[in-house]
Chain A
Amino acid sequence: MRALIFALALCMSFPTFAAERTLQTAGSRIAFAFKQMNVSMDGSFKKFSGKINFDAAKPETSSIEMLVDIASISIYEEADPEVIKPIWLNAAAFPQARFVSKNVKALGGGRYQATGTLSIKGASREVTVPFEYKEQGANAIVDGQFTLKRGDYKIGEGEWSAVDIVANDVLVKFHLVVAPAAATKR
């Protein structure tokens, strides 16, 4: 009986925590852009997932985890089989890129920034990701972008490590549709 009351109390107290919400693949997009011999190249990842505990009123209680399936990369036909090779992203050894953050703060005007750890190809770096968060019907829309240096993660080794042909800067852009907590199946 005591256990039951305790469980009930726990359930009732649960909404005070930021509810965990799951990323909806439909409508969400994780893309990137870089320069190749001064030509802008665009790419994207087709498979990714995420868990977002975010309360716009209390951003400091947030936790974010994003996982990106490296092999789902798409740039252009000839490049796609190349960039998953060990010299680039080594999808076989490091199938996922991961971003985790428990440090989110409000910047005002619906804008926030998440500081966390981005791990790609076995290398981890602290990154700060600014984003905009808005409720849209039952869903939440998260938009943002940040720049990473491919050299920090050894993306492109050997002859590719020179940045005169393929630039070092990679702009990561995301548009995430986050489903409401109630619809989240565990």
Chain B
Amino acid sequence: MQSYTGIAKTLHWLVFALMSGAFTVGFYMHDLPLSPSKLQLVSWHKWTGVTIFVLVLLRLTWRLMNPPPALPTHMSKLERGAAEGMHRVLYILMLAMPLSGWLMSSAKGIQTVWFGVIPLPDLLYKSPPLGKALSEVHEALGFIILAFVAVHVLAAFKHHFIDRDDVLARMVPGMKPRSK
């Protein structure tokens, strides 16, 4: 069975690492009292989010140019549809999450400056109620992503341990396909 390209694998695991970091920091900083270290964490969280957004756009571009390997033949039409839908939702969520954070910052009147160097345009006018609403959207998306990632991981394990196919192996660097 064909594997994902090295670039696709690298981007997948890089985005996974950054998402884990952004989620952990986001969850932790949420209830901290205002302090210099909180502002530092918030900045890092935002920078990571913007980086994820850019990397996900790169992944989508790469995916269009290098279509993923075909799904195993044993999968039913329904399973194929589910896999396709699942990946679409994951991509939408990976873009929606940083976007909602960026919009939230704009509405709160705090511009996002990537790595403290590149200012992103403020997409919304300052509006505290809108900022509050968007922060709830941002938070809800966090838990929705967590749920979808959990399903994604469980599905990969199901392929590997129950179906005993190469769906997991083709995304894990260095993992050899099963010989059949």
Contacts from A to B (Cβ < 8 Å): 36-42, 75-79, 82, 159-160, 162, 165-166
Contact = CB atoms under 8 A, between A and B. Distances in A.
A38 B116 contact: yes
A38 B113 contact: yes
A76 B40 contact: no
Contacts of A159: 35-36
B110 interface: yes
B109 A38 contact: no
B129 to A, nearest CB: 9
Nearest to B36: A165
A77 B117 contact: no
Contacts of A40: 111
Interface residues of B, number: 19
A60 B39 CA distance: 46
Nearest to B47: A37
B89 to A, nearest CB: 32
Contacts of A42: 109
Nearest to A85: B34
Nearest to B43: A37
Indicate the member of B35, B110, B131 with the most A CB atoms within 10 Å: B110
Given A39-B119, A78-B108, 14 more contacts: A36-B39, A37-B39, A37-B40, A37-B43, A39-B43, A39-B110, A40-B111, A41-B109, A76-B110, A77-B108, A77-B131, A78-B34, A159-B35, A165-B36
Nearest to B128: A77
Contact of A37 (B109, B116, B126): B116
B132 interface: yes
Contacts of B111: 39-40
